[in-house]
Amino acid sequence: MLMNVQKTVTKSGLRVVTSAMPHVQSVAFGLWVGVGSRYEPDALSGISHFTEHLLFKGTKSRSPRDISTAIEGRGGYLNAFTGEENTCYYARVGFDQTDTALDVLTDMYVNSVFAPAEIAKERGVIVEEIMMYRDQPRHMVQELLAENLWPGHPLGRPIIGTPESLAGMKQSTFRRFVGEQYVPVNTVAAFAGKVDHAECVEKVERLLGRRRASGRARAFQPVRAHLMPKRAVFQQKDIEQTHLALGIRLFGHRDERRHALKLLSAVLGENMSSRLFQIVREKHGLAYSVQSHVQLFQDSGALTVSAGLDRKRKARALELIVRELQRLKEKPIGAAELRRAKDYIVGQIRLALESTSQQMMWAGENVLTRGRFIPPEETIAKLEAVTSVEILALARAVLREANVSLAIISPDLGEPEQRRMRATLGSF
């Protein structure tokens, strides 16, 4: 799918990127800020996510209710998310409400007041969110895995922070954080839908042009080669299933092998045709849910396998998962299987980009994290060029014992079974 994308850098350093879709009746608008959990010192763990919540809690001219009703009361959608390396505030509205969405989000970005009463209430809300996640073993096993893959590093901490780290944050903390990070040079304004690029640039400059042009993105702590993943962590919990997460630590998102990696993951476990689904679920009946996933950061990343398993046969399930990973190192993927993987990934890209929201996400994230817009056709061409020999070489390079970590949450964890699973990991 061709995207009609234009990009302008304003005098203040803020980047404006638009993807014109004149045939649609809506606009998706997002403000992307280049800060997330990996930029936080230990004492401020969770501040990026906490700040995201607080920007919805009132500005100099709008109450929290005013913010939500300004968008939702006109049939739109308003939300935000925080990741390890960025934070995004976004809205989707009818094209005739573009100015409203722009005004509300920029007001939140510039004029949030961080009222002490709202900070106290929202701290309680986030602590409850933390407790909710702790009651979800499927979520907690991923946190345990991250802690093992990046031990003692910000990437190994939960994005949401902890009750202890949130406790000391006050109004001055957030004002200082926003003053340092929410600056033009660290921000991208992304639009997709029925928009005109020149008009968007003019409106953004009018609303945000007075923001100081100075400021810099906080440097992150790199993942050093000596920071080795820990082998395995087992946690016993009174639940019905065993939850497993196996991770292989990798390179960052600028590595050209990322296209081969995406295809490897598709073959391994991204859909019902994948090897893991067919073996672990269909053939052996050990899981309802089993899948693989790729997440890449600037200088590191991981290929993850997740599963909810039969509690009595978790060791056998791990052996099957590791066997499938080993198969990727033993011989090239066949032509038909590789073709299916390519068709699947390309199809997913094309289906997603029919949406204004997804075009905005594609453009905004590309410009913020990679410094330029990467056309979908460029990504598709690179995926199509990947050979089975390249995937084999990648598997042999990264699927090694030194890169692997395992997290298990289970209702029963006997020592013999733990030894068996550790021995399975040693077979890499």
Please give the positions annotated as active site.
52
Whether residue 269 contacts residue 305, with contact meaning beta carbons closer than 8 Å, is answered with yes
- Cα 378 to Cα 341: distance, rounded to the nearest angstrom: 17
Question: What is the radius of gyration, based on Cα positions, of the chain?
Answer: 23
Taking the C-alpha atoms of residue 226 and residue 54, their distance in angstroms, rounded to an integer, is 37
Q: Can you tell me the distance from the alpha carbon of 374 to that of 216, in angstroms, rounded to the nearest whole number?
A: 24
Helix 314-330 / helix 258-269 crossing angle, nearest 10 deg: 140
Structure token pair of residue 195: 């928009």
| CA distances to 28, 107, 140, 182 from 99, in Å | 12, 12, 40, 21
Q: Are 144 and 233 in contact (CB under 8 A)?
A: yes
SS3 138: helix
For residue 317 the two structure tokens come to 């399930």
Please tell me the distance from the alpha carbon of residue 58 to that of residue 118, in angstroms, as a whole number: 9
- Per DSSP bridges, beta strands 232-236 and 404-410 are parallel
In this structure, what are the phi and psi dihedrals at residue 340, rounded to the nearest 5 degrees? -65, -40
Answer yes or no: are the C-beta atoms of 3 and 15 closer than 8 Å: no
**Helix (H, G, I), strand (E, B), or coil: what is residue 70?**
helix
Neighbours of 284 (CB within 10 A): 14
Residue 10 CA to residue 14 CA, distance in Å, equals 5
